[in-house]
Structure 1
Amino acid sequence: MITAFQRFFKSKIGLGLTMAFLLLIGVAFASMDVSSTGSLGGLSGESNVAVVGDEKVSALDLSQAATNALDQVRQNNPTISMPAFIAEGGLENVLDTVLDRTAIAEFGRKYGLRAGDNLVNSEIRRIPAFRGPDGNFSEDAYRGALQQQGLSDVGVRDDLAQGLLAQQVMVPVAFGTQLPDKLTSRYAALFKERRTGTLGLLPSALFAPEEDATDAQMKEYYDANRSDYIRPERRVLRYATFGLDALGDRAEPTEEELRARYTENSSVYAASEDRTFTQVIVPTQQAANAIRNRVNAGGTLAAAAREAGLDTAQIGPVSRGDFARQTSPAVAQASFETANGAIAEPARSGLGWHVVQVNNITSVGGRSFEQARREILESLRTEKRRRVINEMAASFEERLADGESLGDVTDELDVEITTTQPVTAAGLVYGTRDQQVAEILRPVLATAFQMEEGEPQLAEAVPGETFLLFETSTITPSATAPLAEIENEVKAAWKMSRGSIAAKAAADRILERIGGGTTPAAAFAAEEVRLPRPDPINITREELLQSGQRVIPPLALFFSMAEGSTKRLEAENDAGWFIVGLDDIEAGLIASDDPLFAQAKAQFSQTLGSEYTAQFIAAVRTDIGVETNDEAVAALRRQLLGNN
């Protein structure tokens, strides 16, 4: 029975569980280096949407934050448009998040917290998107990422500083929050609590009128529910693929290049040796010489170290270069110039004086040019392919900027252009349920939906093997579908809405009967419309949660009602009305060693921490002062909806 209700109870857009988290991420790089004029008291025109303390939040700040938040939501829901995002309350959520974050940062500054340049620099270096091929921070990668997102260096640094201030303020608020065991027991026992009652459904379809809506009724309903009929953005893509054969000999290394690479890396291919050591580190040269003398007199390094109250460490096998990086060049030189089994001359590193005994020496033979040839060939070939592709991309961009078309470029490559049907950002052919875009386009689909029309790009479809030249040729923006095109859909929805109104009236009659002492089954049967018989419910919270599925609203209501009460609840999308009755509550018991007790303690402690955080943010807002310009927010909403 519960499964049937779960299938029945579906949401229109699955944003509820992820919205708050995604919006928080979405504003992480939202602030721009924008100066604005005017102030609250007063705000001039549409320049600022809010003032937080002394900090102004411009309309451009909020617009950029909303755009970034939408991009984040699109990672889970690629077809959502800005109008749908705003209809779901996205702009208000973004504004609240921006105001909270700004207020927290202002609060931190007010009470002496700081986020200096060095701290901001360290945060930038930790962001994976700003790392180069070697895994280290790359200035080029950093600048490229900012340019791609339309951000400025100053704006990103300001935003990171604001975020760091927020961390300093907020982390201590809920850190280490714990719910007392006695209180945990009371809450945890609720999981064992058993409730019995009934759950009935009055489907709107059973009460829907048979006659169609008039033109006036259709127009009125359509205008009131335009956000329900927003079509996703769709694009027509043109693309062509080509393989390595199109590169010709340009990507093939010459004999001279192979030999030059071998010479440049002669140390890599030269003979070398790895060594293993036993080592002890002491603070002074005198102590190091004393230990070395004891070993040379016939003792062992381990025994000499123990006499000094120290422990030895085993190192290796390790090369000379690696050992130098671990210790110091002086320690490595002394250790690699000492015979096997002997104690090296003590040398110093940043940790102190090293006494090193050579345990083993393994020679690694060098490789001749012919032996290393294949390895060098593959490495150089990969590098040259990348360089040639980059040169081709630059050449294509220049030619296309000079007025040449995608066809001109593909004619030179002797490849054909394929044109798709209109497709959505989710990779579906528009108007179909399961027809997918060509597999080769999937890796570049997100990029294609950020491009302007007629601006081709080059990408690797299969790294090092197949290349893709693609462009967006036609863009159809997201918009509400014209009524004439969705007339049948709107007619059906109108009937369901009218049916929902009638179902609500029936639900009120059923509640009145139950209140007068009639059983739920008899109250349902008394209706002229033949209704499904209400189902009995006998379940604990623990059993409900064990299903692992979303708890549908009627059952959530069932576990929040008072014993002996009956309530009605509207289903989503005008689908109908629920009648929920709670007959009996059997209190639960839980032992302190029950695994559920520990889970409850962790869960409710986290909830308590969230409550502390929410209350603290509210207090910060009051302390700093937040004023919002509703007219400017409304103007920005119209702009984002394209209604200017």
Structure 2
Amino acid sequence: MKFFRTFFKSKVGLGITLGFLALIAFAFTTSDVANTSFFGGVAGGDRVAVVGDRRISTSDLTRAANDALQQRRQEEPTASMPAFIERGGLEQVLEQLLSRAAIGEYARRLGLRAGDNLVNSEIRQIGAFRGPDGQFSESVYRQALAAQGLSDATVREDLRTGLLARQLLIPATFGVTTPEALARRYAGLFKERRQGAIAFVPSAALAPAGQPSEDQLAAFYQANRAQFIRPERRVIRYAFFDEGAVAAQVEPTAEAVAAFYRDNSARFGPVERRSLNQLIVPTQQQAEAVARAVAGGQTLQAAAGASGLRTSALTRLTRDELASQTSAAVADAVFATQQGQVSRPARGVLGWHVAQVTAIERTPGRSLEQARPEIVTALREQNRARALETLSQEVDDTLNDGGSLAQVAQTLGVQVQTTPPLTTDGRIYGGAGGEVDARLRPALPTAFQMDESAPQLAEIEAGRTFLIFDVARIEESAAAPLAEVRDDVVAAWRLAQGLAAASRAADAIAAQARGGRDLREAVRLAGVANVQIETIDLTREQLAQTAGQRVPPPLALLFSMAQGTAKKLEAERRLGFYIVDLQRIEAGTVEANDPLLAQARTALAPVAGEEYAQQLVTAMRAAVGTSRNEAAIAAVRRQLAGDN
């Protein structure tokens, strides 16, 4: 049951210890992997931690953090490294690295191993290392590693650690069962009913109307810079060229038209097509007997029926088409026969053929003048494709040799255009009007990986439209200067002041409600205005019927509290505070044959397995010993956040 899988899901899963395997696969399916040379301010040999006998270097941490950020950007394209760090992402990545190293160290102490053949097998299964034939390619593998700045030894070590993790963790989680008493307890919770009320104190209603002082505003901005981080923006210059750039090379000459006519004489010569009824028999003797019967006055259909066979019809076939379906001998025999007559027996792929020609259609050949329009159209398309291919290769060579976008555009006679600052998802930053050219969008992911003034060529419409583009300016992700976001900071300050007032009001209401008073009475006694109150009377089963919808946080809190308590909960986006008052809990009962019992047992087993795995990893870390170098960690944090 989906409700049990989500409501009782563990916060920590196997992904925290096995997730690093995904980092390798991810590195070979995206073009944006950390370039560790960017982090030159932190020595690659410095360690951020030691696990057992293994050191985790600053470069290990920076690469893992960048890989994690790129995965985050698959769901949130504008995610930035400063915001990722602010939300605790770097600490989570470090914890994963420590767990990963501990698993490897512990496995080696136990004598477990993952041999080269097993690692080779894992490498061969990674799709990014396969060549055009779908098989593993050593050259593709080496190129992929070089493109990502990885060594063969690094990849093999990561895969080897992952294989060791499987050996240790899978036995700890395999076949986990849920005790009957535990399953019954959780199944009973599903039928439990809770009654209470939820009040909401909005921040906006308590926010000050006046302006903050300059000192207040500056202090608030410094303390909350992470709220005002702007995503990375890039200004892109670009120009398109298409068949118009090669228009002078498209029109065919008279000599080319004549040569095309000569080389394709069969296409423009006379064409004869024949329709026929045919009979196929196993032996030559049978075929000759059928031919004699037809010559004696029988129809081909009657002769076939006498042998228990049936004829089949073929229509409007040329000699070559008939030969491809039967054989050259059959085609020769049919095309040597007059209309209404029966061909001599001839051997085909399936047996011996006897055919009666039912119709002959002859189309006279076309002269050069008659075929000229068709030939000119075909040659124009060939010339256009060939000229565009040659031109695009020349442009690419020019760019690779250091040519600029402006130089190439001038040579092609096309106009260079410049975008406003764009974010990674293609939006124009700052709410400026207009939209980016739709033809530019496919190149945006590449543009956000390029250096400034390093133009590239991209094919937008296969064989027809090409794009030349470069990055004119890069504006790194960082907190916006106070002067630029003053209005936003003032609004945030007011909201924060209102939130603080709402928090104090919510504390006063909760204190009154904890005395056993009705929530409405508690609000009145606390003297708080503009409070919204909603009465709640729900079972968990009713709550589960919102499957596919997100359970509101106040309701989730109501179903996790003790009876007779009142708790305060901050609303999302700092909009205010909820006061959740739980007055009564009615326990649910589950019969022995209730399907919920089996569903609870099934749903809880994986959760228990994940918990066992996490406990095992924690024990491994304690057994091998782990120490952190906080100074090095802080240096990596500063470097990634751009604070140096």
The two structures share one fold, judged by TM-score above 0.5: yes
Relative to structure 1, the CA distance from residue 531 to residue 160 in structure 2 (aligned partners, 3 Å threshold; closer, same or farther) is: same
Structure 1 residue 145: deviation in Å?
Answer: 2.5
Which position in structure 2 is the counterpart of 1:166?
Answer: 165
Structure 1 residue 183: deviation in Å?
Answer: 2.3
Relative to structure 1, the CA distance from residue 19 to residue 534 in structure 2 (aligned partners, 3 Å threshold; closer, same or farther) is: farther
Structure 1 residue 86: deviation in Å?
Answer: 0.4
Q: Secondary structure at the match of 1:562?
A: coil
Q: Secondary structure at the match of 1:568?
A: strand
Which position in structure 2 is the counterpart of 1:355?
Answer: none
Which position in structure 2 is the counterpart of 1:185?
Answer: 184
Structure 1 residue 591: deviation in Å?
Answer: 4.8
Relative to structure 1, the CA distance from residue 386 to residue 638 in structure 2 (aligned partners, 3 Å threshold; closer, same or farther) is: farther
Which position in structure 1 is the counterpart of 2:405?
Answer: 406
Structure 1 residue 522: deviation in Å?
Answer: 1.9
Q: Secondary structure at the match of 1:485?
A: coil
- Structure 2: how far apart are the matches of 1:405 and 1:112? 58
Which position in structure 2 is the counterpart of 1:581?
Answer: 581
Superposition pairs of residues 289-438 of structure 1, within 5 angstroms: 395-396=394-395, 398-432=397-431, 436-438=435-437
Which position in structure 1 is the counterpart of 2:117?
Answer: 118
The answer to whether the aligner puts 1:28 opposite 2:24 as a matched pair is yes
Which position in structure 2 is the counterpart of 1:227?
Answer: 226
Which position in structure 1 is the counterpart of 2:625?
Answer: 625
Q: Secondary structure at the match of 2:431?
A: coil
Structure 1 residue 226: deviation in Å?
Answer: 0.4
Which position in structure 2 is the counterpart of 1:523?
Answer: 522
Paired letter, 1:611:
E
Which position in structure 2 is the counterpart of 1:207?
Answer: 206
Paired letter, 2:427:
L
Total equivalences in the alignment: 500
Query: Any idea what the Cα deviations from partners look like across 1:517-575, whole Å, max 9, x if unmatched?
Result: 43211221345442234110111222223212222322221111111111112224432
Relative to structure 1, the CA distance from residue 413 to residue 627 in structure 2 (aligned partners, 3 Å threshold; closer, same or farther) is: same
Relative to structure 1, the CA distance from residue 528 to residue 514 in structure 2 (aligned partners, 3 Å threshold; closer, same or farther) is: closer
- Structure 2: how far apart are the matches of 1:484 and 1:19? 43
Relative to structure 1, the CA distance from residue 538 to residue 70 in structure 2 (aligned partners, 3 Å threshold; closer, same or farther) is: same
Contact 1:558-1:581 within 8 A present in 2 as well? yes
- Structure 1: how far apart are the matches of 2:66 and 2:633? 15
Which position in structure 2 is the counterpart of 1:561?
Answer: 561
Query: Any idea what the Cα deviations from partners look like across 1:7-51, whole Å, max 9, x if unmatched?
Result: xxxxxxxx99999699746643789999xxxxxxxxx99710011
Contact 1:25-1:72 within 8 A present in 2 as well? no
Paired letter, 1:618:
T
Paired letter, 1:630:
E
Contact 2:52-2:624 within 8 A present in 1 as well? yes
Which position in structure 2 is the counterpart of 1:327?
Answer: none
Which position in structure 2 is the counterpart of 1:54?
Answer: 53
Deviates more, 1:391-400 or 1:76-85: 391-400
Deviates more, 1:540-549 or 1:432-441: 432-441
Deviates more, 1:611-620 or 1:519-528: 519-528
Contact 1:46-1:631 within 8 A present in 2 as well? no
Relative to structure 1, the CA distance from residue 202 to residue 171 in structure 2 (aligned partners, 3 Å threshold; closer, same or farther) is: same
Q: Secondary structure at the match of 2:429?
A: coil
Which position in structure 2 is the counterpart of 1:334?
Answer: none
Query: Any idea what the Cα deviations from partners look like across 1:89-146, whole Å, max 9, x if unmatched?
Result: 0110000011111111122222122222222222222111222232222334323332
- Structure 2: how far apart are the matches of 1:16 and 1:642? 30
Paired letter, 1:156:
V
Relative to structure 1, the CA distance from residue 484 to residue 385 in structure 2 (aligned partners, 3 Å threshold; closer, same or farther) is: same
Q: Secondary structure at the match of 2:93?
A: helix
- Structure 1: how far apart are the matches of 2:56 and 2:405? 43
- Structure 1: how far apart are the matches of 2:475 and 2:181? 60
Contact 1:410-1:416 within 8 A present in 2 as well? yes
Relative to structure 1, the CA distance from residue 185 to residue 245 in structure 2 (aligned partners, 3 Å threshold; closer, same or farther) is: farther
Q: Secondary structure at the match of 1:93?
A: helix
- Structure 2: how far apart are the matches of 1:18 and 1:425? 31
Contact 1:74-1:80 within 8 A present in 2 as well? yes
Q: Secondary structure at the match of 1:585?
A: strand
- Structure 2: how far apart are the matches of 1:643 and 1:469? 34
Paired letter, 1:609:
G
The runs of 5 or more residues in structure 1 that have no matched partner are 1-14, 35-43, 260-359, 364-377
Query: Any idea what the Cα deviations from partners look like across 1:312-347, whole Å, max 9, x if unmatched?
Result: xxxxxxxxxxxxxxxxxxxxxxxxxxxxxxxxxxxx
Q: Secondary structure at the match of 2:403?
A: coil
- Structure 2: how far apart are the matches of 1:497 and 1:33? 39
Paired letter, 2:605:
S
The answer to whether the aligner puts 1:550 opposite 2:546 as a matched pair is no
Deviates more, 1:557-566 or 1:411-420: 411-420
The structure having more radius of gyration, on CA atoms, is: 2
Contact 1:26-1:70 within 8 A present in 2 as well? no
Query: Any idea what the Cα deviations from partners look like across 1:221-264, whole Å, max 9, x if unmatched?
Result: 111110110000011112223346767889x9999xx99xxxxx
Contact 2:176-2:606 within 8 A present in 1 as well? yes
Which position in structure 1 is the counterpart of 2:294?
Answer: none
Query: Any idea what the Cα deviations from partners look like across 1:377-431, whole Å, max 9, x if unmatched?
Result: x9xx99x979985x86775455335442112223334433332111100111111
Which position in structure 1 is the counterpart of 2:459?
Answer: 460
Q: Secondary structure at the match of 1:538?
A: strand
Structure 1 residue 192: deviation in Å?
Answer: 1.6
Contact 1:197-1:582 within 8 A present in 2 as well? yes
Which position in structure 1 is the counterpart of 2:638?
Answer: 638
Contact 2:173-2:610 within 8 A present in 1 as well? yes
Relative to structure 1, the CA distance from residue 23 to residue 160 in structure 2 (aligned partners, 3 Å threshold; closer, same or farther) is: closer
Contact 1:453-1:474 within 8 A present in 2 as well? yes
Relative to structure 1, the CA distance from residue 584 to residue 517 in structure 2 (aligned partners, 3 Å threshold; closer, same or farther) is: closer
Contact 1:238-1:419 within 8 A present in 2 as well? yes
The answer to whether the aligner puts 1:606 opposite 2:602 as a matched pair is no
Contact 2:18-2:162 within 8 A present in 1 as well? no
What is the percent sequence identity of the aligned residues? 47
Which position in structure 1 is the counterpart of 2:341?
Answer: none
- Structure 2: how far apart are the matches of 1:208 and 1:88? 26
Paired letter, 2:122:
E
- Structure 2: how far apart are the matches of 1:546 and 1:434? 43
Relative to structure 1, the CA distance from residue 536 to residue 16 in structure 2 (aligned partners, 3 Å threshold; closer, same or farther) is: farther
Contact 2:14-2:614 within 8 A present in 1 as well? no
Which position in structure 1 is the counterpart of 2:364?
Answer: none
Q: Secondary structure at the match of 1:423?
A: coil
Q: Secondary structure at the match of 1:534?
A: strand
Contact 2:201-2:532 within 8 A present in 1 as well? no
The runs of 5 or more residues in structure 2 that have no matched partner are 1-10, 28-32, 37-42, 265-347, 352-377
- Structure 1: how far apart are the matches of 2:34 and 2:164? 18
Q: Secondary structure at the match of 1:75?
A: helix
Structure 1 residue 474: deviation in Å?
Answer: 1.1
Which position in structure 2 is the counterpart of 1:288?
Answer: none
- Structure 2: how far apart are the matches of 1:519 and 1:427? 52
- Structure 1: how far apart are the matches of 2:465 and 2:593? 60
The answer to whether the aligner puts 1:131 opposite 2:127 as a matched pair is no
Contact 2:44-2:58 within 8 A present in 1 as well? no
- Structure 2: how far apart are the matches of 1:613 and 1:21? 9
- Structure 2: how far apart are the matches of 1:400 and 1:513? 73
Contact 1:524-1:531 within 8 A present in 2 as well? no
Which position in structure 2 is the counterpart of 1:106?
Answer: 105
Relative to structure 1, the CA distance from residue 385 to residue 67 in structure 2 (aligned partners, 3 Å threshold; closer, same or farther) is: farther
Paired letter, 1:200:
A
The answer to whether the aligner puts 1:151 opposite 2:147 as a matched pair is no
Relative to structure 1, the CA distance from residue 167 to residue 466 in structure 2 (aligned partners, 3 Å threshold; closer, same or farther) is: farther
Contact 1:440-1:461 within 8 A present in 2 as well? yes
Contact 2:21-2:158 within 8 A present in 1 as well? no
